[in-house]
Amino acid sequence: LREARRRQTSAYLWEFGSRLKAALNDAAAKTGCPVSCDGVDVHPHLKFRPPTPEMGPLMTTLYIQEMAKRGCHGYAAFYLNGAQGDAELQQTATAATEVFSLIAEAVETNSLSQHLECAPQEEVFRRLVR
In the 8-state DSSP scheme, what is residue 122? -
pLDDT for res 3: 87
pLDDT in tens, 32-42: 999 999 999 99
Collapsed DSSP state (helix, strand, coil) of residue 129? coil
pLDDT band at 130 (very low <50, low <70, confident <90, very high): low
Collapsed DSSP state (helix, strand, coil) of residue 104? helix
pLDDT for res 125: 65
Q: Tell me the HSE value of 97 on the side-chain side, using a 13 A CA sphere.
A: 11
pLDDT band at 21 (very low <50, low <70, confident <90, very high): very high
CA–CA gap between residue 80 and residue 84 (Å, rounded): 7
Query: pTM for this structure?
Result: 0.90
| pLDDT higher at 121 or 97 | 97
* H or E segment and range at residue 46: strand 45-48
pLDDT in tens, 48-107: 999 999 999 999 999 999 999 999 988 999 999 999 999 999 999 999 999 999 999 999
